[in-house]
Structure formats: structure tokens, C-alpha cells
Amino acid sequence: MKKILLAVTGGIAAYKAIDLTSKLTQTGYEVRVMLTENAQQFVTPLAFQAISRNVVYTNTFLEENPHEIQHVALGDWADAIIIAPATANTIAKLSVGIADDMVTSTLLATETPTFVAPAMNVHMYNNKRTQHNMKILKDDGYHFIEPGSGYLACGYVAKGRMEEPLAIVSIIDDYFKAQQRISTSSFNGKNVLVTAGPTVEVIDPVRFVSNRSSGKMGFAIAQALMNRGANVTLVTGPTQLEDIPGAKMIHVQSAQEMFEAVKDRFEHQDMVVKAAAVSDYTPSEVLEHKLKKQDGDLSVTFKRTVDILKYLGEHKTSQFLVGFAAETKDVDAYAEQKLQKKNADVIISNNVGDQTIGFNSDDNELTMHFKDGQHIYIKKGRKSDLATRILDELETRWQ
């Protein structure tokens, strides 16, 4: 049975915390509750005691068990802590490390994962200080359960309502499921480098050659690896996508830069997934000045870039190598060839000629080609779902 410590602070939504206690208990969590002094202006400890069937904590100095320090033991006892509702005041105190009551002392003395469900007047919520304080907590790893919009007790219809208890329970359920997945994953604690996006090959100060890769597939794989506890390094060409929190992000432009970024880190990796669309050619020379318009045709000479996957295949020691093959025809035959020629462990092929999937789309359709000749077809779906499927297939085979 997972153990939840619920911290209730002095907001009007404290009444919802009673329901939350009930829903958590009914779902099968063991719940203990602590309240700030001000929370008790809205709700009574007795209500929480009756519903949680546990002692409720309100006073740091009411040390009833001589064998432990209550505000330290309580945080350690919990598998997760939820602050709901979280007032602007408690969020502010937490962001600077004030510990002047039972709730804040316990929160400061713990490393247990903590969820914060803010609830307050919209101006209080939008206030620069509150936003700043929330950012500090987010950056420090607190999980925020964003408030919804709706009717607020102050009369405004705006953002600031505490998330509904059932939704909070489902977030907590998902969190524990994800934890379970991490603890059983073969990627947990492993170093994995993923490449993503296009490369950009410069012709002159204003022109370049690139391709339509959006980076979505590589980013989805990086995120899925993070979800399984891997230490992810994401080497990416220019994309419109947001950096992945927690991943080591390396931004590059050209094929040569990508090669160097990958080569420098290769030795320390357990796996490399090459999902980037690296240019095979780059202009033979980069012009110092903008190319002027002239009469007649223009030819630009290109030279080959380094074949990164081939290099990795030649230099790998124990690293598991996953490559992608993006083709417009004979996709599978080419993937088989690539598997052999590049000394990769898996090649994942997709048909980028199909406009409904591939490069710029949110969807894709893939086949995984393994070294032992096995093929696994993964039917069309969202790239995030495909990333999960790819890792499911690799989980037991890659080590």
C-alpha cells in the first residue's frame, strides 16, 4: 500500500482536501494529513482524522513519539507528498526555505517527491512573485498540478481553482505507475545518446541546404527513454521543439558538428539511437560572401559528409546501435543492407515518401529490422506511442 502525506494549507479550497483524502483512501492509499494553523480556519483536523483513520498533524512541537522527530519522520514515511490546496503563502515560504510550522518544517526536511496543487485568487496566482516562486519550485523538481479555470470564491471566473480531487488521484496513480516502469526497465540508469532533427549545411552567409526532418521522432524516443529512467543525451539539429527537461541537450547545426558531438560522447554510452536526418552532402566550400545573381545556370559542388552511423559501427565496443532508414522506395531492402553495412544492431525503417507519415508528420509507421533477421512491424500511430513500442521491443533484447 503506497503512503501519501497530504499537506493542507489555508485556502478556501481546503474543503476539497477532505474529499481528496476520501478519494485517496478509497483508491487504496494510506493517507496521513497535516494542516497549517490557517488551514484550520477553513476545515477541522477531526474531519481528516475520521476519513484517513490516522492521527492528523498540526503542531511541530507536539512530539508524541519519543523515538522519532515527527516532522522528519513524517516526510520519510511517505512515498509521495501532496500539498492541496497550496496557498501562495506556503508556496512562497517553500521557495525560500522557511520552516516555521508543521507543514513547512516537514516539507523542508524531506526528499520525498512532492506534488503541489495551487489554489488562489487569479491576481494572487498571476502575481510576479507567485509565478517566480512556483518557477523556483518547478526547477527544483516539485511536480505541479496546474489549477483549472472556473468560478473562484473571490467572484472572478478565471484560473486559480484547485484541480478536482479525482484528477489529482489519477495524476498520483500515473506517477506510481511510471515509477514502477522505471524501476523495472532495463534502460534505468543507462546512458543513451539520441540524435534528432535535420542538419543545416551552409552555402553562403544567407543560404543553406537542409531537409524536412522535424525532430519529432528522435525527441519522442528521448522522452520515452527519460520515462524509463535513462540518462539521456539528445544531440539535435535545429527544430521547433522544446528542450526535454532533464535530458542533456546538445544543439548543433551541420553534419560535421553532429558527428563531433556524437563521437566525443560515444565511449560513455550504453546505447545510441540515430534518429537524425543527417545530410549526406555538404557544399565543397562555404562562401564568405553572399552568392550574387548571375546569368545562366548555377552549379554548386558538394562533398560527402562523415557517415556517423558507419563510424559508430566501426568503433563500437559494447554500445548497442540503433539506426533509422528514411527512404522513399525499397524501404525494407535498403534497411537490411544498412544493417549489415553499418554494423548496427537494429535499423528502423520508415517510408518518408508517404506524406501522411514520416518527416514532418506527428504520425509514423515503422519496421524494426534486427540483426538476427527478425522484423517487427509497428503500425501507423503517434510518434510518442511508436517510441514507447520501440522501447518495449528493445527492453529485453538490447543487452
Ligand X SMILES: Cc1cc2nc3c(=O)[nH]c(=O)nc-3n(C[C@H](O)[C@H](O)[C@H](O)COP(=O)(O)O)c2cc1C
CB of 205 to ligand X, least distance (A): 53
250 beta partners? 235
Nearer to ligand X, 34 or 124 (CB): 124
42 assigned binding-site residue: no
150 beta partners? 158
Nearer to ligand X, 104 or 233 (CB): 104
3 assigned binding-site residue: no
Residue 124 interacting with ligand X (CB under 6 A)? yes
Q: What is the 3-state secondary structure (H, E, C) of 353-365?
A: CCCCCCCCCCEEE
CB of 123 to ligand X, least distance (A): 11
280 assigned binding-site residue: yes
CB of 59 to ligand X, least distance (A): 13
Residue 119 interacting with ligand X (CB under 6 A)? yes
What is the CB neighbour count within 10 angstroms for residue 194? Answer: 30
Nearer to ligand X, 39 or 226 (CB): 39
The CA–CA distances, whole Å, from 220 to 88, 192, 201, 388 equal 35, 14, 25, 8
- Per the residue annotation, which of 50, 62, 69, 154 is the catalytic one? 154
Q: CA nearest 225: which of 32, 395, 41? A: 395
Residue in 4, 5, 6, 11 binding ligand X, rule: CB under 6 A: 11
Residue 9 interacting with ligand X (CB under 6 A)? yes
Contacting range for ligand X; rule: CB under 6 A; set: 31-39, 70-78, 324-332, 368-376: 31-39
6 beta partners? 33, 82
Give the number of C-alpha atoms closer than 13 A to the C-alpha of residue 159, restricted to the C-beta side.
10
Our answer to whether residue 154 is catalytic in this structure is yes
Nearer to ligand X, 89 or 319 (CB): 89
Q: CA nearest 192: which of 169, 237, 219, 222? A: 222
Cell 498540526 belongs to residue = 58
Residue 12 interacting with ligand X (CB under 6 A)? yes
Residue in 7, 33, 39, 193 binding ligand X, rule: CB under 6 A: 39
What is the CB neighbour count within 10 angstroms for residue 105? Answer: 21
Peptide bond just before 85 cis, omega within 30 deg: yes
CB of 249 to ligand X, least distance (A): 35
Contacting range for ligand X; rule: CB under 6 A; set: 105-113, 118-126, 295-303, 371-379: 118-126
Torsion sign (Cα): 35, 39, 45, 51: negative
Residues 6+ away with beta carbon under 8 Å from 305: 199, 201, 254, 255, 256, 259, 278, 279, 280, 281, 282
Residue count at the site for ligand X (CB under 6 A)? 15
Residue 147 interacting with ligand X (CB under 6 A)? no
Site string for ligand X, 51-90 (x = CB under 6 A): ------------------------------------xxxx
The CA–CA distances, whole Å, from 314 to 63, 272, 318, 322, 380 equal 65, 14, 12, 14, 33
Q: Where in the sequence numbering do the catalytic residues fall? A: 154
Annotated binding site: 280, 290, 324, 338, 342
Binding site for ligand X (CB under 6 A): 9-13, 36, 38-39, 87-90, 119-120, 124
